[in-house]
Structure 1
Amino acid sequence: MKHQNLLYWTYMALFSFIHLHFFLEGFSLELHYAVLILVILPVIYYLHLIILLPLSPLGGRWNFSLFVLQSIMIAVYFGASPAPEHGVLFLLFIGLEFLRIAVSRRMSGLTQSIRQLEDEQQQLNDTFKVVRSERHDFLKHISAIHFMLEHDEITEAKNYLNDLVDGYEETNLSIRGERGSAAGILHDMYRRGRRSGIEMVYDLDMPLSTLPLSDKDLVTLLGNLLSNSLEACEEFQKHKGKQAEISLQFYKRSGLYMLICKNDSLEIPPHIVDKLYASFGHTTKTGSHEGLGTMMIDDVVKRHGGYLDFIHKNETFMVKIKFPAVH
């Protein structure tokens, strides 16, 4: 992904240079090449910082087709005398790139939504299987405990009951009073955290389904918040060699719903922290991540009139979200 973006912005710089050169030449204005480069490079660099451009959803065929069309437009310059009318080619070049950006981002969002819906369906299926299995085995566990008590095996019964309660706690914390969508994502994230050795704490005064959000937006918000926290905690445990913790708090105060997600985290460079939710395309993760998670969280919060704040201090990252309690 990084190589694709580097190639794209290099291509943008080169084609912008050619278009601007011939555009000015059509009006009998000539600037030295060095001056043109000094004008174009800062603009391209700024656009690179503020525009999140996922190229892969558009596909190689469409990207290549646009490149060929742009090349043909460039060829027109070299086959004709400079003229003011060539400014239309410059405007067409800009228009095509705006179209590429808009379509790419739209397709990326649709792909992400489809992936989230598939994940949500799988999470609901997994949660349903767990609940059905626990219900099916409940009477067997009661019979086993009853047998131990009848034979005065008090210690064994106590240990058996403790193990049983630990198992049920995982499910109960996730599904208590929640709609299916929220229960599925909470249960899935809880299990993922426990499998990674992360301490998961759900401190919920009321069901998260109380939030005035659609199922889709609720899953998007919770899924990205918790998955970001899980990945940060996994990195923390890998480098620090000690257990990490995630806590999710939800309560209502003074007409506001308060959602607070806190997790252990490695140090984050200040230039990334400052722009993490302020602009898109910034991520604390390694690899080919695009920072889409923070973008989607920010989008859900803004669309529902909420307020998002975050802080990173003493190896702890905390996101605090407030929603007005209006249905």
Structure 2
Amino acid sequence: MNDIINFIKLDIFGSQPQIFVYWLFCLSFLDPVPPKLMKRLFFIAVIHSVYTDLMILVLPSYVHIINSLLIGLFLLFVFFRDVSTKKKLIVYLFIMIFAIAMDLLLTGIMVYGYGVDTREEMVTSKYFELLSVLYPLLSVIFMASWIIRRRKQFPGKKIFAIFVELERSTITAVLALILLQFFLLGTLQIVQIMPERYDVPLNSTLIYATIVISLLSLVTIIRLLVRTREQAVRMTQEVYVEEINDMFTSIRGQRHDFLNHVQVIHTMVHMGKTEQLKSYVNDLVKETRSVSDIVHHSSPALAAFAQAKTTVAIGKGIAFTCELPDNWNMHETTVKVIDIIKIIGNLVDNAFDETEILPQDQRQVHASIRIDEQKRIELLVSNRGRHISDNDKDRIFAPGYTSKGKDHTGLGLAIVQERVKHYKGSLEILSKENELQPLGTTQFRITLPKTSV
């Protein structure tokens, strides 16, 4: 009878709250957080704790551990079918690592704080002492999970997203080493609190094995950070290289024509064509505008983008205007400059492609980056061109969709939409059709939160 009472107390007041809070903490790192999370976790906690606590009575210890891992994985796949398989596996590894770490912390407090010698003593005679340690720990974890879910740009979520986007082999190596490290630490702790199983050679082997695995984990994580940095550099190069190439191509063309311009000016001066000379020089100044404003702007990346697009527009005969914020402090926003350039760059490229088919006097594109009154980043690109119907507004963001022929990949607007969703922003398309002309005006307006809430 006492065994049944102890089982019920341990399951209801110990195992179920532990599973619920541990899983809640780990699943809070998902972005977006799955709906009805609390309800799902309640059923998982009850089923998992009752099943595993019953099986421990009939299964050997090593079989019980495997059984507990499998039932947890099964419940995760059953109750979170709307989460991708890759995310589920990473979350479950996170849950196991976190649970082992918390159990080590809990066991350490009971052993060194309350003088507990065995696990049986911990769950019987020291049961209320166990709860006095467990519930404050669970309260802290519960509050931490609430804060994580409330903060959209929590650093831990970004780290989790990096793991999701990494190659599977890299994830497996890092997580396997970390999991093995915690397993060795847990085994070492169990050996130390069970005097009847204490073995000096085994204890020493576990210590040295833990040190070796820790060093391997450190080396692997350093290599992972280096690889992540290299990926970030490559992403930056992909964004800038095409624009810089276009800019230099146009600049080379301007330098090639410079001698011809000088000869024309010299001839007009000798012929006394003053008015024609003024008009010609004005057009020439517009075409050879200086790039010195790049170094004067608070964000050289944004200024370089604007200058590159302006140079490309001159080469295509497009009247392009670009408005940048007077002061841009990258430390005041969680939105990366490279993502802003990805978004507005793809929109400007599409606008250039659309207006390039028009007569030169009708080729007009305007882009602006500004901070509105609510401290949000507003990106705006407008151009003259064909009207976008309501049906096309839904189709143009599909990856691969293009109306420009085989030379275009149809990925530009898909990238724009993905980045806007990543920052929880909004995207609006305003396309006005001119009743008197077949052409209209199309405007893309994107709003991004400047800082995390």
With normalisation by structure 1, the TM-score equals 0.48
With normalisation by structure 2, the TM-score equals 0.36
User: Rg: which structure is higher?
Assistant: 2
